[in-house]
Amino acid sequence: MRVTFLGTGVAVDVAGKAQSSLIVEDDKIIMIDCGFGAMLRLSQSGYSVEDLDALVITHFHLDHCGELMGILKARWLLGCGQLKIFTPRGGRNFLDSFLNSSPYLLNKLRFRVYEKKRFSIGNLTFKAVRTKHSVESIGLKVDNILFSGDTSAFPELYEDVDITIHEMSLYFGDASDYHTSPENFADAADVREAYFVHLYPEAYRGRKKIKEFLEKRGIKCHFPDDLEVIKLD
Number of domains the chain is built from: 1
Contact call for residues 154 and 132 (beta carbons, < 8 A): yes
Q: What is the pLDDT along the chain (233 residues), one digit of tens a residue?
A: 999 999 999 999 999 999 999 999 999 999 999 999 999 999 999 999 999 999 999 999 999 999 999 999 999 999 999 999 999 999 999 999 989 999 999 999 999 999 999 999 999 999 999 999 999 999 999 999 999 999 999 999 999 999 999 999 999 999 999 999 999 999 999 999 999 999 999 999 999 999 999 999 999 999 999 999 999 97
Taking a C-beta distance cutoff of 8 angstroms, is the pair 125, 56 a contact?
Answer: no
- The boundaries of the domain holding residue 68 are 2-231
CA distance 152 to 188: 9
How much is the pTM?
Answer: 0.97
CATH code at 84?
3.60.15.10
User: 104 burial class (0-12, 13-18, 19+ CB within 10 angstroms)?
Assistant: exposed
